[in-house]
Structure 1
């Protein structure tokens, strides 16, 4: 069975779904402190729907960009909450970026992260420091662009991305929420990690595991 780009992306979404499912109780606990306590369930439902949809596709005949387009539709259909439109827009932007080069090169992997971040920013109107998932996605994008500028290899690039993502998620503990339901809490949101930031780290870690699995030193 050929391991084409569409199969790699399908496997990436499968990995994300498994990891989100494993961490859904923690994500919902984080959300319970500053939100509606349903973030883990919502994200799990969204990515399970993506996998169910992708399972119906003939991956040998599907352009990689279509994997992201399909994921956007499936996620949005399953998740009506605010997270649904954010990630649906992110996946659609990734699909547009991938159409430029469907071989999943390191440059294209960087373009995917950059496009997803831009989509989330565009849909959510947020910025760094708002105590949201963007406190993970923006530093992850910066790390990817810096690694690309330094001609880093895949494993080094993704290690930098994940390190920046984890630092970004941890930083949300010291922020007062400016967006989303948590913003209603004001100062009471201090001391808690943003659940969207925590799930973004899970997503990026699954992406790292997928894109580095065939690279030397990727594990």
Structure 2
């Protein structure tokens, strides 16, 4: 079970992880993108941190929605609208809830992934954050269907996301800035998939 205080703790952990990984994400993005992914993610989550004392007084839905709005407003490039949409869609699903179980988390994850697909006009296999998120979503749903608790299901989701990040090294980008490189993007790890993995890892660690 996750309550509002735990969700706020998760958001803080994600913000701290982005700060830790800023240079690494920027290095990955230097290879196939604009070289600003780490910087942008930190800027966005710093803005979320400023707003968090106000956001954590509400329910989980409003906390996530507020997080998404801060990301949209403060993260540059494609990441802001995509991550912002993911958090806002998850927040909409969890509106009014002060505690969530595995089924609620599954619904929020589905809404988040659907929002990213729609906003980015993209799908799995195009060397984007969806190459981490889609396998994670599938693994989570399968684990819940098999009777796993939230923590165990998230562990399987993280493992699937890790495999998805590795997979991005083997394919050419067909979406975003990296698509300009075409075949030359093969061999490089997608920064968006990597930051998505970090978010999932922090959620799992906090439970």
TM-score, L = length of structure 2: 0.95
1:190 maps to which residue?
Answer: 186
Structure-2 change in CA distance of 1:58 and 1:158 (3 Å): closer
**1:115 paired to 2:147:** no
Q: CA deviation at 1:124?
A: 0.3
What TM-score results when the alignment is normalised by the length of structure 1? 0.90
Superposed displacement of residue 9, structure 1:
1.3
Deviation (angstroms), 1:198: 0.6
CA contact (8 A) 1:136 1:197 kept: yes
- 2:24 maps to 1:26: yes
1:24-61 per-residue CA deviation (whole Å, 9 max, x = no partner) reads: 111000000001111000011111111111123462xx
Query: In the alignment, which residue of structure 2 is the partner of 1:13?
Result: 11
Q: Tell me what 1:77 maps to.
A: 73
Residue of structure 1 in register with 2:38 after alignment: 40
Alpha-carbon distance in structure 1 between the residues aligned to 2:66 and 2:52: 7
Q: Using the alignment, how far apart are the partners of 1:109 and 1:4 within structure 2? A: 9
Conservation of the 8 A alpha-carbon contact between 2:101 and 2:150: no
1:146 aligned onto 2:142: yes
Q: Deviations over 1:149-183 (max 9, x none)?
A: 10102232111000000000110000100000000
Query: Please, what is the CA RMSD of the aligned residues?
Result: 1.6
Name the CA distance, whole Å, in 1 between partners of 2:72 and 2:150.
30
CA distance in 2, matches of 1:195, 1:74: 21
Q: Which runs of 5+ in 1 are unaligned?
A: 213-219
Query: What pairs with 1:197-212 in structure 2 (closer than 5 Å)?
Result: 197-210=193-206, 212=207
CA separation in 2, counterparts of 1:55 and 1:40?
24
**Aligned partners of 2:176 and 2:92: how far apart in 1?**
27
Moved more, 4-13 or 39-48: 4-13
Shift of residue 98 of structure 1?
Answer: 0.9
Alignment partners' CA distance in 1, 2:171 and 2:105? 30
- C-alpha separation in 2, matches of 1:28 and 1:75: 18
Give the superposition deviation at 1:101: 4.9
Runs of 4+, deviation exceeding 4 Å: none
Query: Is the 1:101–1:108 contact (alpha carbons within 8 Å) kept by the matching residues of 2?
Result: no
